[in-house]
Structure 1
Amino acid sequence: MSNDAPSNNHDAVNAAIGLLQLLQGVDEFSHKVFPESAALFKGLAQSQSPHTLFIACADSRVVPEMITQTQPGELFVCRNIGNIVPAYGEMLGGVSAVIEYAVMVLGVRQIVICGHSDCGAMKGLLNPLSTSGMPTVEAWLRNAEAARSTVFARKLEGPQALQALIEENVRLQLMHLRTHPAVAAGIAEGRVALQGWIYDIEHGQVSVFDEGSGSLQSLPEAIARLQGEAVP
């Protein structure tokens, strides 16, 4: 028991330091950041009207508001391991409820599914042994199994396989998204648009899926395409 005590004490100290840092961050927000945007938060205090549902990985390196340079109240964010959207009826739960609420109650106009480089969930999908002993994770990742099968069929390996899986997973989750009744109705009525992104953490760049060609476009290409579509 005495041998464990130093380790336990060290862990407790680290936990206290981590919590203290969080609280100090809140204190800085309350006294420095919040006053500069007090009018914004006053308007948001009673209601919200986000324009976009942003479905991203729970990875700590992915920060939707920073990537998109949006303000509080603009994004309705759903985060989970692997930016996964179970097909409707397959695994009804938090993600399905978020989608339904965002479309039917909040009236979001866009839904973005954002994958990212070096995704741990996709690494786990490529190497099943790495998720051994985590049955919940394994069950969740089965929602991306079709993407893995596509990559395996292409006989890719190493970094190429990982990048291909990250991309295929976003494509697959967009397909799953369309099975949700609220989304299907929104698309049919022209109220909701979908888009898939791949965020490159190292270079701070986003690539966008062009569903017409089925390929990834650079950000300038995607912006130019949408600007053309926005002209009456």
Structure 2
Amino acid sequence: MQPLIDYARSFRQQTAARPEEFARLAEGQAPQALFITCSDSRVIPSLITGARPGELFELRTAGNIVPPYDPEQPTGEAATIEYAVEVLGVTDVVVCGHSHCGAVGALVRGDDLTAVPAVRDWLTHAAPRADGTKADGTKADGTKADGTKADGTKADGAKADGDPAIADAVQSHVLAQILRLRSYPYLARRLDAGQLRLHAWFYEIHTGTVLAHRPPADTFVAL
């Protein structure tokens, strides 16, 4: 913690060289995009995009989950999305998943989360994913997104390989959040009017590569 404190103490001196930039920030904000991503400490939106202060409006949740639209039960996540779109007028919304995601990994593996009930209950908001996987990480035939059965074996009887990247599951999960956003009425209106664009990204922690979903080919490719 001490290095963080030391940096915060010196931050004012570091910004003194750019007084005009910070003076403009005090006048208001006009971010280019709403960036929805995971709370994972290894995923830093400004590091990935090179965004300067004021350019990104961020929403970070465990597993970059977008909760279902429910006007009767407002959430902090829904309020953030609404403010970004209706008040700040962002024209782009990015949902960025990442490799080595603990939240999606827990869903895929069917981890026992009784020791962290808040996490367990939050993950129930994960929408069914594009690969047919349910929120508990299983498909209709009882296998998980990685082909693993409940007993830890693959559908063909082999043991699961334990790949930490779980890229396919995370990418499908990101697409499910994009579909969830389309169910928000004010987002749907702006999408229909051509005033808003949705982007599905996948960030590889171990390589720094950013992939984006291309609808025509229904695949993630490097930006």
Normalising by the smaller structure, the TM-score range is: 0.7 to 0.9
Separation in 1, partners of 2:173, 2:197: 19
What percent of counterpart residues are identical? 35
Indicate yes or no: 2:40 matched with 1:40. Answer: no
Of 89, 100, 106 in structure 1, the residue corresponding to residue 70 of structure 2 is: 89
How many residues align structurally?
200
Separation in 2, partners of 1:155, 1:44: 46
Q: Which residue of 2 aligns with 1:57?
A: 38
Structure 1: runs of 5 or more not aligned: 1-17, 220-232
Q: Which residue of 2 aligns with 1:156?
A: 147
Structure 2: runs of 5 or more not aligned: 140-144, 149-161
Please provide the CA RMSD for this pair.
2.0
Q: Kindly indicate whether the alpha-carbon contact (under 8 Å) linking 2:63 and 2:103 is maintained by their aligned counterparts in 1.
A: yes
Q: Which residue of 1 aligns with 2:142?
A: none
Report the 3-state secondary structure (helix = DSSP H, G, I; strand = E; otherwise coil) of the residue aligned with 2:163.
Answer: helix
Separation in 1, partners of 2:22, 2:66: 30
- Taking the TM superposition and a 5 Å limit, the aligned residue runs for 1:203-214 are 203-214=207-218
Separation in 1, partners of 2:11, 2:164: 41
Separation in 1, partners of 2:195, 2:16: 36
In the TM superposition, what whole-angstrom CA distance separates every residue of 1:147-179 from its partner, at most 9, and x where no partner exists? 243964366243288222111110100000111
Separation in 2, partners of 1:130, 1:22: 34
TM-score by length of 2: 0.83
Indicate yes or no: 2:78 matched with 1:76. Answer: no
Q: Which residue of 2 aligns with 1:218?
A: 222
In the TM superposition, what whole-angstrom CA distance separates every residue of 1:8-59 from its partner, at most 9, and x where no partner exists? xxxxxxxxxx2x3322111222112x12332111001020000100001000
Q: Which residue of 1 aligns with 2:174?
A: 170
Separation in 1, partners of 2:22, 2:182: 33
TM-score by length of 1: 0.80
Q: Which residue of 2 aligns with 1:28?
A: 10
Report the 3-state secondary structure (helix = DSSP H, G, I; strand = E; otherwise coil) of the residue aligned with 1:194.
Answer: strand
- Shift, 1:81, TM fit: 0.4
Report the 3-state secondary structure (helix = DSSP H, G, I; strand = E; otherwise coil) of the residue aligned with 1:76.
Answer: strand
Greater helix content: 1
Cα distance change on mapping 1:166 and 1:37 into 2, 3 Å: same
Q: Which amino acid aligns with 2:10?
A: E
Question: Which range moves more in the overlay, 95-104 or 34-43?
Answer: 34-43
Q: Which amino acid aligns with 1:23?
A: I
- Shift, 1:215, TM fit: 1.1
Q: Kindly indicate whether the alpha-carbon contact (under 8 Å) linking 2:100 and 2:165 is maintained by their aligned counterparts in 1.
A: no
